[in-house]
Structure 1
Amino acid sequence: MRFGFHTGYWSAGPPAGAAGAVRAADELGLDSVWTAESYGSDAFTPLAWWGSQTNRVRLGTGIAQLAARTPTATAMAALTLDHLSGGRFILGLGASGPQVVEGWYGQPYPRPLERTREYVDIVRQVLAREAPVTFSGRHFTLPHDGGTRLGKALRSTVHPVRSDLPIHLAAQGPKNTALAAEIADGWLPAFVSPALDAEYRENLETGFARRDAARSPRGEFEVSAAVPAVIGDDLETAADQVRPHLALYIGGMGSESTNFHREAIARAGYRDVCDEVTAKYLAGDKAGAAAAIPTDLVTDVALVGTPSDITTQLARWEASCVTTLILQTDPRMLPSLVQALH
């Protein structure tokens, strides 16, 4: 089992202690550091800024949103960061949801799996640098079919450090999990429960069965799960720090009808809980929504409690398909958490 550190989303500004935690992740021997974006800070800039102070830890976007950049712009950023980091970059991509894609980026959301497939194809063409990039799909056309009619197929001026730079896909539903196994080098799930490991493996197998032989071997495929982690004096005290986080993602992320985070947790056997949390959250009762999160749900998707509690909980993850636990924790807590995990 490998471990990573997730810097999380920014709120009004950079998260306190994040820069120091990224340096600590490098010094403590963690596998990777990840950044996020939604509709505030972007994923690439903090990774480059904080990552410049590291030497060995891998640097991943977790996740860069497809709608935020054209496929070629994303490939350019990936090429650049891989050079600057000496080949340590991981391109984590995700479709996000309709509220952000249509509300923030002003783009249509339907057919996200098809759009993801086309997007990754173009990024891989840029990274391979075997020929000028061309593409004709439902969502992307290169060169552009219209305008001045002067567009021409181009090849990146930059030679890649790695033409096989790893691309990981964020996914929570069965179909997009299978897509990750089919076309990507890794899966970035959130709100994973080891109790559903058999289901996750089945979804991945569906994708592996369609995987191109030219892709990286399935034995090298990574599953890097973002997991809230809190050390406390006792399990309940630590769980209380995770409950508001879960309530936000269940009740406040997405709309009442479309929330992929809520669906992932509901599939783990908590549909009634999700309905109650959503109703309270949308009614403005955020404290009540957090209080409605049972401890069993917290321990299903998070690492919480005393060092002994966390060691016991870790065994379930080690037996799962997860290869890396990306710790979502207070940056100041990272060293003690890593000590407990080892």
Structure 2
Amino acid sequence: LPCSNLAGALLTRAMDIGKVGIWFFLDAMPAADTAEFAKLVEKNGYKALWIPEAVGREPFAHAAYLLSHTDRLAIATGIANIWARDAVTMAAASKTVAELSGGRFLLGIGVSHKPLVTNLRGHSYDKPYSYMKEYLPKMKNALYLAPAPKDPVPVVLAALHPKMLALSAAEANGTHTYFVPPEHTAKARAQIGPNAMLCAAQAVILETDATKARTAAREYMKTYVPRLPNYTNNLKALGWADKEFENGCSDRLVDAIVAWGAEGKIRDRIDAHLKAGASHVCLLPLRADGSPLPDHRAVEAFRQR
């Protein structure tokens, strides 16, 4: 399909991933345990489990494995790095997994970050937006001679800033945002219009002790700010001052990025994203004890009925 027609064609059969899903780095688990976790997510009524790509498991192989151990759950990449494979391979991988799973796969792709692209992979990160803009038509028009999945694979772009958000609505099914407060969700919805998917990630810690919760939140956040400029600059564009990022981030910024406390307080944050325009909220069930494993209590607490 020509690029100008693709987004509309895909949106005619948008995948139902529900209002709330689960997102988590599963690389601290053996493979068999990740399958059990996927089953737990499915058992608790969630329709989607999001898995990232960084320096651990290859996400398409892992997605196929998780899909083979579940019955209804969709697996989404949040996100697959476009510098890790060319556009033809990205298209082939997504269609293969979608066909194998009966259409239970959602492709999230993104430009990642300079340390992972230049320092780790050795690619140039000079013009990430231009690279994505050129990548999408190559992926959409890639030659693929195997049996295609019944429906087109839904595609969302990792996007924070206006140009990439606009591209996500014009040439894909929408966006997957990460490390954002509800204020950004409202801004993104205004940018992409009413119909595109807006899947906002939200880290949560089911812990009422402020010291424990914020300590765990800062441990999570230190990977992203101020080390990764994409996230820092996005928050500054929302009005956060330089001083908020000092000394492990201010309590105010920590509380804006990580929802912690009792169930009701965390539900309020989920609702805030939905009211701001999110079509789907991806929960990161972090633990307050410093473990890299997901908090099963949180998965069960916010189960979908």
After TM superposition, the score normalised by the length of structure 1 is 0.74
Looking at structure 1, the residues matched to 303 and 72 of structure 2 have their Cα atoms a distance apart, in angstroms, of 20
Please point out which of 221, 229, 232 is paired with 1:262: 232
Percentage of matched positions with identical amino acids: 24
Looking at structure 1, the residues matched to 237 and 211 of structure 2 have their Cα atoms a distance apart, in angstroms, of 24
SS in 1 for 2:92: helix
- Residue 306, structure 1, aligned to residue 262, structure 2: yes
Q: Deviations over 1:234-282 (max 9, x none)?
A: 4553333212111221033x4xxxx1022223233323245424xxxxx
Report the CA distance shift for 1:172/1:197 in structure 2 as closer, same or farther (over 3 A): closer
Partner residue, 2:199: 224
Partner residue, 2:95: 79
Q: Deviations over 1:183-221 (max 9, x none)?
A: 11020111221134442233224xxxxxxxxxxxx62x2
Please point out which of 4, 22, 26 is paired with 2:42: 26
Please point out which of 9, 19, 43 is paired with 1:2: 19
Looking at structure 2, the residues matched to 341 and 85 of structure 1 have their Cα atoms a distance apart, in angstroms, of 23
SS in 1 for 2:149: coil
**Mapping of 1:161-176 within 5 angstroms?**
161-162=149-150, 164-176=152-164
Check the 8 A contact 1:170/1:188 in 2, yes or no: yes
SS in 1 for 2:295: helix
- Residue 156, structure 1, aligned to residue 131, structure 2: no
Please point out which of 285, 291, 296 is paired with 1:334: 296
SS in 1 for 2:108: strand
After TM superposition, the score normalised by the length of structure 2 is 0.83
Looking at structure 2, the residues matched to 196 and 171 of structure 1 have their Cα atoms a distance apart, in angstroms, of 11
- Residue 182, structure 1, aligned to residue 170, structure 2: yes
Report the CA distance shift for 1:299/1:74 in structure 2 as closer, same or farther (over 3 A): same
Offset at 1:107? 2.0
Q: Deviations over 1:263-312 (max 9, x none)?
A: 223233323245424xxxxxxxxxxx2xx431x32332232111122233
Looking at structure 1, the residues matched to 214 and 299 of structure 2 have their Cα atoms a distance apart, in angstroms, of 15
| Unmatched segments (≥5 aa) in structure 2 | 1-17, 287-292
Looking at structure 2, the residues matched to 111 and 162 of structure 1 have their Cα atoms a distance apart, in angstroms, of 35
Greater RCO (CA < 8 Å, at least 6 residues apart): 2
Partner residue, 1:286: none
Check the 8 A contact 2:41/2:299 in 1, yes or no: no
Looking at structure 2, the residues matched to 9 and 249 of structure 1 have their Cα atoms a distance apart, in angstroms, of 18
Cα RMSD for the two superposed structures: 2.4
Letter of the structure 1 residue corresponding to residue 255 of structure 2? T
Check the 8 A contact 2:189/2:198 in 1, yes or no: no
- Residue 240, structure 1, aligned to residue 202, structure 2: no
Partner residue, 2:226: 251
Offset at 1:92? 0.7
Check the 8 A contact 1:223/1:322 in 2, yes or no: yes
Please point out which of 46, 49, 69 is paired with 2:65: 49
What is the aligned length?
281
Check the 8 A contact 1:239/1:305 in 2, yes or no: no
SS in 2 for 1:249: coil
Letter of the structure 1 residue corresponding to residue 22 of structure 2? F
Offset at 1:81? 0.4
- Residue 95, structure 1, aligned to residue 51, structure 2: no
Looking at structure 2, the residues matched to 338 and 223 of structure 1 have their Cα atoms a distance apart, in angstroms, of 24
Looking at structure 1, the residues matched to 164 and 179 of structure 2 have their Cα atoms a distance apart, in angstroms, of 15
Letter of the structure 2 residue corresponding to residue 240 of structure 1? T
Offset at 1:57? 1.3
SS in 1 for 2:238: helix
Partner residue, 1:202: 190
Deviating more after overlay: 313-322 vs 168-177: 313-322
Q: Deviations over 1:65-119 (max 9, x none)?
A: 0110011111111111001111111111001122222222222222222221221
Offset at 1:34? 1.2
Looking at structure 2, the residues matched to 317 and 116 of structure 1 have their Cα atoms a distance apart, in angstroms, of 26
Looking at structure 1, the residues matched to 52 and 298 of structure 2 have their Cα atoms a distance apart, in angstroms, of 23
Looking at structure 1, the residues matched to 235 and 49 of structure 2 have their Cα atoms a distance apart, in angstroms, of 25
Deviating more after overlay: 262-271 vs 164-173: 262-271
